[in-house]
Amino acid sequence: MGKPYILDPIEKAPREEIERIQLKRLKETVRRAYENVPIYRRKFQEAGITPDDIRSLEDLRKIPFTYKNDLREAYPYGMFAVPLSEVIEIHASSGTTGKPTVVGYTATDIENWSNLMARSFAAAGVTKDDILYVALGYHWFTGGLGFHYGGQKLGAMVVPAGTGFTQRHVQMIKDLGATVLGAVPNYALRLAEVALEMGIDPAKDTKVRTGIFGAEMWSDELRKRINELWDMDSYDIYGMSELYGPGTAMECQYHNGLHVWEDHYIVEVVDPKTGEVLEPEEEGVLVVTPITHEAMPLLRYWTNDLTFIYDTRSCECGRTMRKIARIKGRADDMLIINGVNVFPSAVEITLLSDPRVGHNYQIVVEREGNLDRMYVFVESKEKLSDEDKEKLARELEYKLREVLIISPRVKVMDPGEIPRVEGGKAKRVIDKRKL
């Protein structure tokens, strides 16, 4: 929004230069993983290959995938390629579906991550003159420290706010004159909601005009809501703890896909059923190979995130690094309801396209007799009469049926009636069939 966008020379390098760097770093990573991580030595032996077989970028396809279960089986330090004395930081996933996945960082890893985050912020027009308010968790979760390191590397003032205590955050955002907000997207909405309850208009009474959000799927409809409430330009940032954290890919000012920082990552999109590498513009599961990780090299990491690679090698912003589409959801987030595939993202887009609907909703799936039943609970933007709630519910049921090809039951609730999450990822789907 009127700020300069400064490109690192590598961001606009010729493809030949980028691919030369990728191949050199890929070979180094493959050898480091093979020689120091037992699970990779076993995978290579089972596949009948050695590091010497990786002579081109196309040879990456010879390497077996790495899955989250591989990381869990290696818990806690089995994926590390360096002695623990060289590891200076640890992060971990929540472990809600099993053992947590532990990720380690050397000093070089932290430096790489900081530089990638600084580059990502620069893509959003952030400069050393900004005040970055980091409303993300500072703990096992990589978001808070990743944003913190990147903001400091860029030279911006960083406010390590964390999550919770939402009223205090609103007051501090206003009083400190924060100009950039880092958060999960749903917390940006919660902050705006609480601000309005406090008599503070985020658009008029704060200086925040840039938002950098990630860690959960958020649709363009949700982005419009956030931008309007804050009078901001919001950017999507991609990453996960296994890939350092946030900072694997980032939107530029044109908001047409996320640039992958290809001097640090090689991306593929594969068929979720067969693992076959797909062509550009074909949607599938994102597979990422980090090529600068020291502590914990990963080869062809199956992220389970659904996207596609754009069929272009350039962008109006001047970058030559390839772009992926915004994440549609996770392959394991897909609900199968009476044999029909349903993505929560399709529900969100349909709901939020109606101006009478608030931004909070919840999907509940349960088994009734021999059939699955899907319920959608959604808040109205303003308090409605019972008659108007019923009318809106019927209209939303019709719209959802047209999109999903199933017939969900919709209940419209009053504003504020659905429980909020103060800072973390929103709990949008409750599948009682799994409970």
Q: Read off the pLDDT of residues 27-36 as tens digits, 9 standing for 90 and up.
A: 999 999 999 9
CATH of the domain at 408: 3.30.300.30
d(CA 15, CA 13): 6
- Per-residue confidence at 99, pLDDT binned at 50, 70, 90? confident
Note every long-range contact of 92-99, with CB atoms under 8 Å and residues 24 or more positions apart, other chains counting. 92/140, 92/241, 93/140, 93/241, 94/140, 94/141, 98/69, 98/72, 99/72, 99/75
- Amino acid identity for residue 11 in this structure: E
Total domain count, the chain: 2
* Domain membership of residue 422 as a residue range: 335-431
Same domain, 239 and 266: yes
State which of 331, 361, 384 marks the end of a domain.
331
Above 50 in pLDDT, residue 1?
no
Same domain, 69 and 169: yes
Same domain, 294 and 353: no
Above 50 in pLDDT, residue 2?
no
Region 354-359: mean pLDDT is 94
pTM here? 0.89
Same domain, 240 and 358: no
Please write the tens of the pLDDT for every residue from 189-218. 999 999 999 999 999 999 999 999 998 889
What does the pLDDT read at residue 139?
Answer: 87
Say if residues 102 and 77 touch (Cβ distance below 8 Å). Answer: yes
- Is the bond preceding residue 76 a cis peptide, omega within 30 degrees? yes
Region 109-116: mean pLDDT is 98
Please write the tens of the pLDDT for every residue from 222-266. 999 999 999 999 999 999 999 999 999 999 999 999 999 999 999
State which of 315, 331, 347 marks the end of a domain.
331
Same domain, 65 and 131: yes
Region 341-358: mean pLDDT is 92
Same domain, 277 and 183: yes
Above 60 in pLDDT, residue 3?
no
Same domain, 349 and 382: yes
Same domain, 235 and 123: yes
What does the pLDDT read at residue 369?
Answer: 85
Same domain, 295 and 346: no
Same domain, 36 and 62: yes
CATH of the domain at 140: 3.40.50.12780
Same domain, 364 and 303: no
Q: Who contacts 31 (Cβ-Cβ below 8 Å, separation ≥6)?
A: 51
Full DSSP string of 255-289:
-SSEEE-TTTEEEEEE-TTT-PBPPTT--EEEEEE
State which of 300, 315, 331 marks the end of a domain.
331
Which segment of 142-146, 164-168, 256-260, 421-425 scores lowest on mean pLDDT? Answer: 421-425
Above 50 in pLDDT, residue 18?
yes
Say if residues 362 and 418 touch (Cβ distance below 8 Å). Answer: yes
What does the pLDDT read at residue 424?
Answer: 72
Above 90 in pLDDT, residue 180?
yes
Above 80 in pLDDT, residue 6?
no
Same domain, 288 and 363: no
What does the pLDDT read at residue 98?
Answer: 63
Please write the tens of the pLDDT for every residue from 358-401. 999 999 999 988 889 999 999 999 999 999 999 999 999 999 99
Residue 168 CB neighbours (<10 A): 11
Residue 8 CB neighbours (<10 A): 15
